[in-house]
Amino acid sequence: MNRTDQEQQFFEYMSQNYPIPPKLWQELKTVLEIKKIKKNRYLTAEQFDLHFILDGMIIKRIENESEPHEEVVDFISTNQLIYHIEKMDHSQFEADVDSTVILIRNSNLSKVLEKHPIFLNHLEHLFGEVLLRRSYRGKLIHLTARERILKFKEDYPEAYKYCSVNDKSSFLGMTAAYYSNINI
């Protein structure tokens, strides 16, 4: 089975928890769309499409009706997944650095599942990972600002190192000036 480096990375990640039978892999290869996203560009997809981040950093932002800016609610990095529900939660996904992603359209997900029901095991694992990551901010509520930054640095090392102070402070629920005054 010939695989590009990007396909191989996706295959290895997907195979960590459940084996991928050859026929399923052949079917998946026909629906994978590998895309390069430049820094500051937005990911586009239809509702319920799936993006898998091969490399880079994508920032999820939500419109804040009471503020003139968008709130950062997540940092999605290598080997993580985006399941597109932006129309429901008024969010958008912006590349913070040049990134490479795999897009699988919702219609293709349905076709693969119909032919290969075992693929549901893989999707359940991916969605479980998404839910764990998305509940992260709730775990920070009772921490001091310094503790939040330290926890963020530990759990999101790429975002801590590369993302802007404005984005990190928004995610952690503090102003950029307050974030900058805390010595870590």
Between residues 177 and 4, the one the model is more confident about: 177
Average of pLDDT values for 71-89? 85
Cα 145 from Cα 131, distance rounded (Å): 24
pTM of the model: 0.82
Q: Is the pLDDT reported for residue 162 higher than 50?
A: yes
Q: Is the pLDDT reported for residue 179 higher than 50?
A: yes
Q: Taking a C-beta distance cutoff of 8 angstroms, is the pair 148, 140 a contact?
A: yes
Burial class (CB in 10 A: 0-12, 13-18, 19+), 96: buried
Cα 165 from Cα 179, distance rounded (Å): 7
Q: Is the pLDDT reported for residue 114 higher than 90?
A: yes
Between residues 156 and 86, the one the model is more confident about: 156
Instruction: Sketch out the chain's domains with CATH numbers.
Output: 5-134 (2.60.120.10), 138-184 (no CATH)
> How many other C-beta atoms can be found within 10 angstroms of the C-beta atom of residue 99?
25
